[in-house]
Structure 1
């Protein structure tokens, strides 16, 4: 049974903004890789609101800005049922325009249902981490409501059906949260709030305003006040290139292309797809993906294998052994190329992800509250 978003657990924009600032300050103070150029930046307090396909608010995406340019983004959970507050640190600006995406889904809806009435249009996470626009239109004669989904990057129409293995579709993030997990997540959000409040008080006591752009001098002062920031157990990032998937169902070939390049092998996504897919077309199943990694005319890593019970510690071990891995979430493949212990609350860990979706992006992703489905270890 999936968790139901309850208004009493909603996180306000003001609360989310506080958490985004404190987590950013904490991570910059600890020299988190990727945030080296975020000094003297600030967070725009007006976020992009991203919804679940069930219509409930899911994330606030804040832009990190420096010299009037967007240099990164921070996703914060919009509901306490999602657990620890800050979900991702993403690098660079969006490769798509929300207004254009929503206009496209309205256009598609009107063309498909000319007698319909548009009820709403929202930016949604339709199949984490894939983002798009959802337009709901109602037939004026029958009263029947239909949903139209359009991918943010490709502007392709996404079928309104359950995303099954090897098929593109949509799924609700909230429905993946069990009642037990929801209760655990509420406690984790409280940990985040306690952490944020503690950092705010500590910085105020030493006369620092963390809601202004952080200068190098301020960062040095914060590092001297070691009690203000959480300790770091360890981190490591492998040098894996980022490639965007060239087709909507090419996330697995694009991920394999990245891993292959790390090992000095250059193959096109079409070539990789030809080895992975059995000829049926569409997305590649997890078993099919192994074909490329193991084949002698593929990456030639015969000891590669699928793990359907992924853990943070397993990813950390493989990265420590200089082995990037395929990181699977529901119906999507990415590459895990790094780890970071305790980037926020003590014990709140993150993986460094190369994601081929949405034009290709790199980000730190909080481990515990994401629906991880599998790893493929390339050995």
Structure 2
């Protein structure tokens, strides 16, 4: 579930929240200066591909979905009338390219669902996180009522000033390194774009994403994204630095790296991003993310709950 933020009719941000308590915190992430996706075109193309590939099939539904997070696309579900089997056809909402519905394997995440991933963390723990988030939200609402602010109306600068300094809004600690943002030029180039970001931050010579890709792959190789060991190898070969693969992903490690002015790679299944800062506020720990998605963009700056979706980190020292 998401909300969009506009200023003078211009889209300036989105806020993603979970619409189900079993998924965890009610808040998910904030995206700044997002590129509008092509929902109508994606849904139309998804149906067209389905009718072409399954001319005798029964289309069950066509919806906008989050697939292989953070990608957004249209998904059409079609049922084979003879066998009863169901198939999914995905079309990316930014590129309008068809996305193959790949199964999950030991080494590949497939076209996975955020819903399925979050449930793996345990419903009981997610319910506790939702309750904690809900209590904080209610404290903000009560503070608004006490200050005479109508929470059913649009937020104004005047009302924000009324709330500023209230007991419900506590002091925060943060640090942001200012890592340059870069977007990935190809579906597989999230690692290459992330390498560019950190390279630019340190002032190293920064080659093209195609050059980085060709450093690891031969022309006859099947197109694929970079692996964690290859991200580490680049740091050692090109920067003379050591990469450390971490799966514990504690908040204290984020503070240590950022306070020592070391941005690092933060991964979610099948996708590299760069963490460039943190924010501690109201009992919550957030991380500032430079996301190279969507393909063909300049990248997307985000703030999200620390380690809420991360699967790996690579520290570069």
TM-score (norm 2): 0.90
- Give unmatched runs, 5+ long, in structure 1: 1-59
CA distance in 2, matches of 1:180, 1:95: 31
Instruction: Report the Cα offset of residue 163 of structure 1.
Output: 4.7
Q: Is the 8 A contact 1:158 1:168 kept in 2?
A: no
Q: Is the 8 A contact 2:280 2:286 kept in 1?
A: yes
Cα distance, 1:143–1:162 mapped onto 2, change above 3 Å: closer
- Asked whether 1:151 is paired with 2:89, we answer no
Cα distance, 1:287–1:294 mapped onto 2, change above 3 Å: same
Cα distance, 1:215–1:147 mapped onto 2, change above 3 Å: closer
Structure 2 partner of 1:355:
291
CA distance in 1, matches of 2:77, 2:267: 30
CA distance in 2, matches of 1:166, 1:301: 28
User: Could you report, residue by residue, the CA deviation over 1:201-229 in whole angstroms, capped at 9, with x for unpaired residues?
Assistant: 2211121224434444333322243x131
Cα distance, 1:219–1:334 mapped onto 2, change above 3 Å: same
User: Could you report, residue by residue, the CA deviation over 1:303-342 in whole angstroms, capped at 9, with x for unpaired residues?
Assistant: 2222233222212211111111110111110111111112
Structure 2 partner of 1:258:
197
Instruction: Report the Cα offset of residue 164 of structure 1.
Output: 4.9
Cα distance, 1:318–1:163 mapped onto 2, change above 3 Å: farther
- Asked whether 1:190 is paired with 2:126, we answer no
Instruction: Report the Cα offset of residue 287 of structure 1.
Output: 1.0
> Match of 1:192, SS?
helix
Structure 1 partner of 2:211:
271
Cα distance, 1:163–1:273 mapped onto 2, change above 3 Å: farther
Structure 2 partner of 1:71:
12
CA distance in 2, matches of 1:230, 1:83: 23
Give the 5 Å matches for 1:169-188.
169-177=110-118, 181-188=122-129
CA distance in 1, matches of 2:212, 2:43: 33
Instruction: Report the Cα offset of residue 85 of structure 1.
Output: 0.6
- Asked whether 1:319 is paired with 2:258, we answer yes
Kindly tell me the number of residue pairs found equivalent between the two proteins.
311
CA distance in 2, matches of 1:165, 1:256: 25
Structure 1 partner of 2:316:
378
CA distance in 2, matches of 1:99, 1:333: 28
Structure 1 partner of 2:231:
289
User: Could you report, residue by residue, the CA deviation over 1:58-83 in whole angstroms, capped at 9, with x for unpaired residues?
Assistant: xx111112222211110010110111
- Give unmatched runs, 5+ long, in structure 2: none
